[in-house]
Structure 1
Amino acid sequence: MPPADPFDDTGAADGWALPRLVIAAAASSAGKTTVTTGLLAALTARGVRAAGFKVGPDFIDPGYHALATGRPGRNLDPVMVGEERVAPLFAHGFVTPEPADIAVVEGVMGLFDGRLRTGGVGSTAHVAKLITAPVILVVDGAGSSRTAAAAALGLAAFDPQVRVAGVIVNRVASPAHGAELAQVFQEAGMPVLGVVPRDARVSAPSRHLGLVPASERAESAHTIAALAQHVDAHVDLDAVLELAASAPPLHARPWDPAAEVAPVPGRPRIAVFGGRAFTFRYAETTELLDAAGCDVVEVDPLTDAALPDNVAGLYIGGGFPEVHAADLSANAPLRDAVARAIGAGVPTVAECAGQLYLGEHLDGHPMVGALPASARMTPRLTLGYRHAQASEATLVADGRSDAVWGHEFHRTHTLPGAGEHPAWAWNDRVEGFSLDPAEIGEPTLHSSYLHVHWAGTPLAAQRFADAAARYVRRAGQGASPEGDASASSTHRTTTLPSAPDGGIDLHHHGDRDIAAGLIDLAVNVQTTGPAPWLTDVIAATTATLGAYPSTDAAVAAIADAHGVDPAMVLPTAGGAEAFALIARALPLAHPLVVHPQFTEPEAALRAAGRAVQRWLLPVDAHAGTPPLGELPSWADALFVGNPTNPTGWLHRRNDLLEAGQGRILVVDEAFMDAAHEAESLIAPSMPGRLVLRSLSKTWGLAGLRVGYVVGDPALVAALAAVQPPWPLSSPALAATVAVLSPQARAQASTWYAQVDADRAYLVSALEAHGFPVVHGSAPFVLIDTSRVGAHSLRPGLAKRGFAVRRAESFPGLSPTWIRIRVPDPETTDTFVAALASLAEEAAASTVGERTR
């Protein structure tokens, strides 16, 4: 039999019986999500129809509630929807998609913690009063006993209108500890509904914005099942049901989306982005679109290569695209389809993660390109409610209505943060983009960091549905999202081949930029070949080429040069082989590559099938080496260059060690001899660390492929296990021994002292002509040529006889950057004169265009 509708007419006068309770705590991290999800799962396993709710704007916890109950998880947020809508929205969630037997509401932060300077508006207590629900306190038993009872009693007495009806003690260390706590609460007159011990099987991993969403965790269903068993064994579910049934009648009818919007003609099809990358969306958003007569279909941008047929609207909500940036970028067919749809005027709403996806790049990965902006991860968390106003009509606001309440929640930075026509404004700040990419006379693209709950702002749903209906009418007259979007002069898109590197040529090296007759400033090898004495050493090995080479002497020379145990050393055929060995041999589930840097490590990881993520540091010629920042905890391996190619940044040793804590740290020190060994991570003990060195750059040995790895003996042994036999030739091994002698190293130090002086001369000359340079500690410099224009100066420099290294193949850099090897002062003068000449020509051309 279908469940009975609790909202029959018999309760109209006296209210309706809706069993319900709120799960609260004294502070965050007490275990509210664990207890709430466990209760929902345990009750569902018993055949009880349970509905889950979350106080506040959080998207992640409702995902776990939905997984536990099989019905949508919902939010109750008085700030974003208005307190008058909280009880109706709660009642709606209680009966949709079918009536529930009990509702469990998970609180936010501490019981009385709400929006600042409002007296607790939006707090768990506020919502509990709005829906007149009894409260169960989750008490964190870790490190407490009698004090926990005192704190609970204080919370219960703080506001007489909030009924604290019992406690569940969480994370007890032992049965004795649990019994002690239960007795303390009983003595205090506080009913104990459960005592839950610690269990690592039922925890959810954290991420930079909180818990990892349930939809992203392959093991989530197993965790929920284990959690249900755990809570069922330690919580009195009958007492929980009895407490929920004691809630007084609720005097509120269910919120009805059909009463908030008017149906539009044409049944426009709305593609709503979902899957693992876009998990943040309020359930009421699609319910409002359904009520407005739209056909809502879900698209997973990680698996779907095309948009649905006849799409008339796109809704791209929040999530974690930065975690899936490489895969989102690799799905070039869908990126192109989205770009063409937006360019054709398909109404599109993008919130937070959606904005990142529609930009040009995300952490260096090409994205859709529909917005003239790019984004990157940062260590800074932006979090809080915003009271926003649209200063002019947009896709979701009429520009005349009262301000809306929204919420920001991200660790990314978008530059620029707003366009000429912003989506929202608040506190003297403009934010987001309101664009008309198809030039039809009205904005059809709305993009912003702001999450808005459309149940509190149904005008947004109505305007979006209306725009979709208008698009259907236009499409019937010949317009099509699959048409030629290039007809729009304002449309910007990035169409790249479907490749796992997102279209960036990770295999590009400086040797591809040189050509006959050009002065080579593109390749970082310091000499055209080895010194005469080194040539003699190499030539002497020809008499031994009939025997297989042994690495013993090279290993000993490397170990002696660095003062390490030979077990920490592995000679390799240059850095390229070392990166390939690391990618194949080590258990790297979530490697993170710091960019901009030498692209070989990422190329090797991708070739080995690793799911690489990028951490993009800002490149500013007017700033020093940027901090690595608060790196994401989910990364199990970190790859960074030091000094970094192409910037020359020299990260501090202690910063690298801190960044590498708890994960494998791989540092490319190919240019460390040019930095005079400053900040090197090579040491007698290197747990969890690997350092890669190259001998090619200093000694003119690129053709021999000479390098080595120094690091954790266990990691080095793992690399050796997959290295082919005899990876280095006898000439390469002899050269290794020779250049690591004390005399050779002293000679190299003298050379690089001269490079330091030549670099200072080059930088001074460039800056005197108005070309900013990234200051570094390497035998090359990165030059900002953006003042000349948006295009690369490489072709113009080639015409003047110079080959320079293109920068656009380094993730995070545009064609306006070029990298050059530090030349002698005479070559510097000639090169800088050529660069200045190009700038003068560009300036003259610009003046000519303006006067025509």
Structure 2
Amino acid sequence: MVALPRLVVAAPASGHGKTTVATGLMAALARAGHTVSGHKVGPDYIDPGYHALATGRPGRNLDPHLVGEERLVPLLLHGAAGADLAVIEGVMGLYDGQIGADGFASTAHVAAVTRSPVVLVVDISSASRTIAATIHGLRTWAPDPGRPPVDVVGVVLNKAGSARHADEVVRSIGDQVPVLGILQRDDGIEAPSRHLGLVPAAERADAAAALDRLAAQIAERVDLEQVVRLARAAPGLDGVPWSPSAALGFDTVAARPAQPAGDGGARPAQPASVSSPSVEQGALAPVSKPGSSARIAVAGGRAFTFRYAETVELLRAAGAEVVELDPLTDTRLPEGTTGLYLGGGFPEMHAAELGANDRLRRDLRTAVARGLPTVAECAGLLYLCESVQGPDGTPVPMVGAIGATAEMAPRLTLAYRTATAATDNLLARVGEQVTGHEFHRTHLTTPTAGDAAWLMPDPAGVATPSLHASYLHTHWAGHPQLAARFVAAAAAYAGPDLRHHGDKDTGPGLVDLAVNVFDGPRPAWLDRALADSLADADAYPDPSGAERAVAQRHGREPGDVLATAGAAEAFTLLARLRPWRHPVVVHPQFTEPEVALRTAGHTPDQVVLRHEDGFRLDPDAVPDDADLVVIGNPTNPTGVRHPATAIRDLARPERLVVIDEAFLDDDVETLADERHDGLVVLRSLTKIWAIPGIRAGYVLAEPEVVRALRDLQTPWSVSAPAIAALVATSSEQARDEARRRAAELERRRRHLEDGLRELGIETVPSTAPYVLARTGTGSREALRGKGFAVRRADTFPGLGDEWVRISARRTAVTDDLLGALGSTHPVLRKPVEVRHSGATVTSLSHTER
């Protein structure tokens, strides 16, 4: 048996002052030298925040619906470890619980299971002698014939109108129960409230001062010594403390009871071979072991105050490093983040500040699109939406990772739920049931696309292998498999492979539609120039002649040109050019610029163009303070060609805009033929001339930029064959051949697009020698099995594995591919109609949290 002094603070109904008295008792006892553990009956998040402020320890919840009746004592012992007294605040009226469940999850239920004495708080402002009858009824009423009444050991009278009024009530109570204290009407010690109840302590600058006043009043008007004596009279508890490690199946140490309370802070021993509760809910595997590479950012600050203490404890026990993210003030995800947890709170009350944090919103939108394992509950769901209605009724832009909008609803949604998983997803497995609760006064005005997170009356939310966003709050102590799966996904997450190249997708025996190199023969004049360049191998290469030829080809001055060993060298030089404060890469696009920036020690921001916008550039989406912007035109892999005017609109003082024109062989919308302040154009000879083995390219920029890049360039980095290729392909003969090849590639691409369209496969309108096609999850592997290699697209930020990039080849090759695609089409992912039925719904009987 474990000795834990404890009391439950209950009331006849909501509004009697439970939170005021319970929190005041915690604070007064803590200031009197006790180590106090605060607990709350029910799913409430706000009251435990005040408890934590009062005790200096995490506030805890005890809710049999959320965690199971059998875990109440273990969770109480876990939360009270090292404390010498526990105060448990009740919910609603003493016997009020889940509607239709005969008081299940009521304060009386929790008091009975934990064998805790009860102190009643009674508002006497509108009665006198009737108070005695009320107390008598609460003490003696036994709701079940076989269950004894709860043990009411004292009462605190609240909101007395006068000493005479209080004396009348005390006389009527007589000796049936001790009166522990009398509080007068004092609005100064009541927390302010709004549409979801009390304002969280974290949002109140005056919370600590108000708590000091409350503690002083409780200490003056309540007999704390008698309160402690009553708490110490609580019977011992038979059980072992809950352990996050044991819940996950990690603990195997010898079982022994917890250390007695008040032992100076020693943690209780862990049970032996505790069977994981997750086994009851389905397979726990895969589970991340302690020491895993998971680094999970957990939203906090004033806007995200709702989460259970055990949530973070389970994440850590599963091996995750947990770091805090404040969406109101932080502008980036913490470095190395592999998972994101967005809990509950009040984003609608902080909408303006959240919406103004443009950089973090973009960072999160990109991260979620890239498949960062993300869990979002209620407020987190709203934050990921396109917009949320602010306090003044105006929609405020949010992250935009979920295609839905939210606004205030006419009524509060407050209910216990038993929800079923509609599909296998990040957290759950199809058919798996969890218990939870809803607590919100918003609703989504446009539905989310995709599979529902849970089957409930309002299935708002979405679930994928990397995202779980829902209005449902769950307590992971009751369902530890959710935490285990989340950490396992975070540990496995590496993000898009920015170093992946199309040549990795092809191989011997495969038809290559992955690499964008022209598959026809090189012109004889180019081969001769390359062969002749070997005669100069006995001298160090001098690119100045090539730079003059390129300048003439584009009508520029030689000082505007820097010959490079392909675009790869150019990106590396640009990354090292300046100590960039805010570099931005426009995605989805060729990933080498981002790799170069990261290798140089920068953390580039990502502006991810959206599928629903046709992957087209909006200059306003680029942050004003960006000092380097990199964009492809046409973009690889989408094939979208951006208007030259839109790119010129990106120019700003003190900003370089880098345009990769690797596939702009027809020179439509080119910015290469004129000097533009702040614009840098890159060209490569690799693709159109089929010379990937000869790294040849060039930079076109203002002379001072070219000089600075040249100073960073390794001497003789541009080889003699590359120099010969630059000279040969700058001739008028070469320009005519390039236009012919570009026209041929356009014919091939249109044939490919037409064939894909006939198969019902979505494509992005392209102006490049490739097509981005939404062939569906699994199609790339299926095509590979039939002998065709296409470029995977999930390594491009902003795209998933349902996309592939297909190079435009000769008609016969394309027809063979289309035939293979037609035969593999059944594996393509198709929309699934989700039936929102089968949920078990029960409601709380009152709107108290």
TM-score normalised according to structure 2 size? 0.54
Matched residue type, 1:416: T
Q: CA deviation at 1:431?
A: 3.1
**Which residue of the other structure, out of 418, 421, 425, is the alignment partner of 1:390?**
421
Q: CA deviation at 1:374?
A: 0.4
Counterpart mapping for 1:207-222 below 5 A: 207-222=194-209
CA distance in 1, matches of 2:614, 2:12: 50
Structure 2: give runs of 5+ residues left out of the alignment.
143-147, 249-286, 390-394, 501-590, 595-602, 625-849
Query: Deviations along 1:476-528, whole A, 9 cap, x unmatched?
Result: 977999675748858999985889xxxxxxxxxxxxxxxxxxxxxxxxxxxxx
Which residue in the other structure is 2:378 paired with? 352
Asked if the contact 1:370/1:491 (under 8 Å) is kept, the reply is no
Q: SS of the counterpart of 2:23?
A: helix
Query: Deviations along 1:167-206, whole A, 9 cap, x unmatched?
Result: 1111111222222222222x25211111111222211001
Aligned residues: 472
CA distance in 2, matches of 1:381, 1:285: 25
Which residue in the other structure is 2:489 paired with? 467
Q: CA deviation at 1:474?
A: 6.6
Question: Judging changes above 3 Å, is the alpha-carbon distance between structure 1 residues 490 and 162 closer, same or farther for their aligned structure 2 residues?
Answer: farther
Which residue in the other structure is 1:618 paired with? none
Matched, 1:431 2:460: yes
**Which residue of the other structure, out of 354, 373, 393, is the alignment partner of 2:404?**
373
Which residue in the other structure is 1:422 paired with? 452
Q: CA deviation at 1:378?
A: 2.2
Asked if the contact 1:268/1:469 (under 8 Å) is kept, the reply is yes
Asked if the contact 1:419/1:433 (under 8 Å) is kept, the reply is yes
Query: Deviations along 1:122-144, whole A, 9 cap, x unmatched?
Result: 00000001110000010111111
Asked if the contact 2:158/2:182 (under 8 Å) is kept, the reply is yes
Q: SS of the counterpart of 1:150?
A: helix
Question: Judging changes above 3 Å, is the alpha-carbon distance between structure 1 residues 488 and 373 closer, same or farther for their aligned structure 2 residues?
Answer: closer
CA distance in 1, matches of 2:381, 2:158: 39
Matched, 1:153 2:136: yes
Which residue in the other structure is 1:287 paired with? 313
Asked if the contact 2:372/2:495 (under 8 Å) is kept, the reply is no
Query: Deviations along 1:388-424, whole A, 9 cap, x unmatched?
Result: 00021111102243x1111011111112344331100
Asked if the contact 2:288/2:491 (under 8 Å) is kept, the reply is no
CA distance in 1, matches of 2:73, 2:312: 20
**Which residue of the other structure, out of 441, 455, 459, is the alignment partner of 1:411?**
441
Asked if the contact 2:95/2:107 (under 8 Å) is kept, the reply is yes
Counterpart mapping for 1:708-747 below 5 A: none
Matched, 1:278 2:272: no
Matched residue type, 2:26: L
Which residue in the other structure is 2:472 paired with? 450
Asked if the contact 2:139/2:149 (under 8 Å) is kept, the reply is no
Query: Deviations along 1:676-699, whole A, 9 cap, x unmatched?
Result: xxxxxxxxxxxxxxxxxxxxxxxx
**Which residue of the other structure, out of 160, 166, 188, is the alignment partner of 1:201?**
188
Larger radius of gyration: 2
Asked if the contact 2:402/2:448 (under 8 Å) is kept, the reply is no
Q: SS of the counterpart of 2:188?
A: helix
Counterpart mapping for 1:34-73 below 5 A: 34-73=20-59
Query: Deviations along 1:807-838, whole A, 9 cap, x unmatched?
Result: xxxxxxxxxxxxxxxxxxxxxxxxxxxxxxxx
Matched residue type, 2:412: L
Counterpart mapping for 1:673-688 below 5 A: none
Matched residue type, 1:275: G
CA distance in 1, matches of 2:429, 2:28: 46
Asked if the contact 1:344/1:483 (under 8 Å) is kept, the reply is no
CA distance in 2, matches of 1:457, 1:476: 36
Asked if the contact 1:17/1:250 (under 8 Å) is kept, the reply is yes
Question: Judging changes above 3 Å, is the alpha-carbon distance between structure 1 residues 232 and 496 closer, same or farther for their aligned structure 2 residues?
Answer: farther
Which residue in the other structure is 2:331 paired with? 305
Q: SS of the counterpart of 1:112?
A: coil
Which residue in the other structure is 1:171 paired with? 159
**Which residue of the other structure, out of 309, 328, 340, is the alignment partner of 2:366?**
340
Question: Judging changes above 3 Å, is the alpha-carbon distance between structure 1 residues 246 and 474 closer, same or farther for their aligned structure 2 residues?
Answer: farther
CA distance in 1, matches of 2:342, 2:440: 16
Counterpart mapping for 1:90-105 below 5 A: 90-95=76-81, 99-105=82-88
Asked if the contact 1:263/1:291 (under 8 Å) is kept, the reply is no
Asked if the contact 2:363/2:606 (under 8 Å) is kept, the reply is no
CA distance in 2, matches of 1:145, 1:492: 71
Question: Judging changes above 3 Å, is the alpha-carbon distance between structure 1 residues 477 and 180 closer, same or farther for their aligned structure 2 residues?
Answer: farther
Structure 1: give runs of 5+ residues left out of the alignment.
1-14, 436-442, 500-852
Matched, 1:20 2:42: no
Matched residue type, 1:26: P
CA distance in 2, matches of 1:420, 1:90: 39
Which residue in the other structure is 1:632 paired with? none
Question: Judging changes above 3 Å, is the alpha-carbon distance between structure 1 residues 202 and 497 closer, same or farther for their aligned structure 2 residues?
Answer: farther
Query: Deviations along 1:56-110, whole A, 9 cap, x unmatched?
Result: 0010000000000111001000001110111101110001xxx001000000000
CA distance in 1, matches of 2:233, 2:34: 17
Which residue in the other structure is 2:98 paired with? 115
Asked if the contact 1:332/1:496 (under 8 Å) is kept, the reply is no
Which residue in the other structure is 1:578 paired with? none
Matched residue type, 1:140: D
Q: CA deviation at 1:341?
A: 1.0
Which residue in the other structure is 1:330 paired with? 356
Q: SS of the counterpart of 1:336?
A: helix
Asked if the contact 2:10/2:94 (under 8 Å) is kept, the reply is yes
Question: Judging changes above 3 Å, is the alpha-carbon distance between structure 1 residues 107 and 475 closer, same or farther for their aligned structure 2 residues?
Answer: farther
TM-score normalised according to structure 1 size? 0.54
Asked if the contact 1:379/1:411 (under 8 Å) is kept, the reply is yes
**Which residue of the other structure, out of 148, 159, 172, is the alignment partner of 1:184?**
172
Runs of 4+ in 1 over 6 A off after TM superposition: 473-483, 490-495
Q: SS of the counterpart of 1:177?
A: helix
CA distance in 1, matches of 2:380, 2:614: 16
Which residue in the other structure is 2:241 paired with? 254
Asked if the contact 2:39/2:48 (under 8 Å) is kept, the reply is yes
Matched residue type, 1:287: E
Asked if the contact 2:93/2:107 (under 8 Å) is kept, the reply is yes
Matched residue type, 1:163: D
Matched, 1:229 2:258: no
Percent identical residues: 52
Question: Judging changes above 3 Å, is the alpha-carbon distance between structure 1 residues 424 and 482 closer, same or farther for their aligned structure 2 residues?
Answer: farther
Asked if the contact 2:140/2:149 (under 8 Å) is kept, the reply is no
RMSD: 2.2
Q: SS of the counterpart of 2:10?
A: strand
Matched, 1:128 2:154: no
Q: SS of the counterpart of 1:84?
A: helix
Counterpart mapping for 1:304-703 below 5 A: 304-363=330-389, 364-401=395-432, 403-427=433-457, 430-435=459-464, 443-472=465-494, 486=608, 489=611
Question: Judging changes above 3 Å, is the alpha-carbon distance between structure 1 residues 310 and 492 closer, same or farther for their aligned structure 2 residues?
Answer: farther
Question: Judging changes above 3 Å, is the alpha-carbon distance between structure 1 residues 175 and 305 closer, same or farther for their aligned structure 2 residues?
Answer: same
Matched residue type, 2:434: V
Query: Deviations along 1:290-315, whole A, 9 cap, x unmatched?
Result: 00110101111111111100100110
Q: SS of the counterpart of 1:452?
A: coil
Query: Deviations along 1:558-592, whole A, 9 cap, x unmatched?
Result: xxxxxxxxxxxxxxxxxxxxxxxxxxxxxxxxxxx
